[in-house]
Amino acid sequence: MSQANAVPETNEWADADHARGFLDRRDGLPRIDVAYSELLQILPANPRRVLDLGCGDGKVMAMIGGPGVAVDFSPHMLEQARARFHADDVDVVDHNLNAPLPDLGTFDVIVSAFAIHHCSDDRKRALYGEVFELLEPGGTFANLEHVASPTQTLHEEFLGLIGSSPETEDPSNQLVAPETQLRWLREIGFTDVECFWKWRELALLAGRKPNL
């Protein structure tokens, strides 16, 4: 599916084979280790309570360290995350990000990695607003995200670099330009909004909730 008309009717991530396919490929994706490392670098040391949206098997939450809450809706990913965190102070919550976030308490760090681009654009923006509400003053939201390329040519180049193509790319993707998402964050009230790192369609978008 091309970027221009990427409005999927289904979200493939509920399918166990789709989830397994990502986990099998993840370590081989170009720049992925750099991307996660850049995410960790902009977070405060020793966060009080962390929320991970679209946690997958819990890799990011484990790198940050709990306590916290890890949210996903894929049965396979939830099973993997629960196995990883069974002895840790991390609650793994089954929730579809297309619905408003449930009452999860408050957090000083909220992260997401390569997940929110599976929501519609309206839902992405609304979710960013819900994140703002769940953040404590001074708290950080960091979204390591798959974003849109400025042109179809660059999009197809990116797909080639990750071993994909317009024919095989994830039909669940609903990519938005980083500039648009940074604007949404500022409009919602986040401060220190910045794209802290970017390689092709991988971008680290972040902001803080102002202190009172």
Interacting residues toward ligand SAM by CB under 6 A: 11, 13, 19, 22, 26, 54-56, 59-60, 72-74, 77, 96-98, 113-115, 118-119
CA distance 5 to 138: 38
Nearer to ligand SAM, 11 or 140 (CB): 11
Task: Give the shortest CB-84-to-ligand SAM separation in angstroms.
Answer: 11
Phi and psi for 91 in degrees, rounded to 5? -85, 130
Task: Give the shortest CB-5-to-ligand SAM separation in angstroms.
Answer: 20
Nearer to ligand SAM, 60 or 142 (CB): 60
Establish how many alpha carbons lie within 13 A of residue 113's alpha carbon, considering only the half-sphere containing its beta carbon.
Answer: 24
Phi and psi for 94 in degrees, rounded to 5? -80, 110
Nearer to ligand SAM, 52 or 189 (CB): 52
CB neighbour burial string for 48-81, b if at least 16 within 10 angstroms, e if fewer: ebbbbbbbbbbbbbbebebebbbbbbbebbbebb
Task: Give the shortest CB-91-to-ligand SAM separation in angstroms.
Answer: 15
**CB distance 151 to 157 below 8 Å:** no
Nearer to ligand SAM, 163 or 189 (CB): 163
Task: Give the shortest CB-37-to-ligand SAM separation in angstroms.
Answer: 13
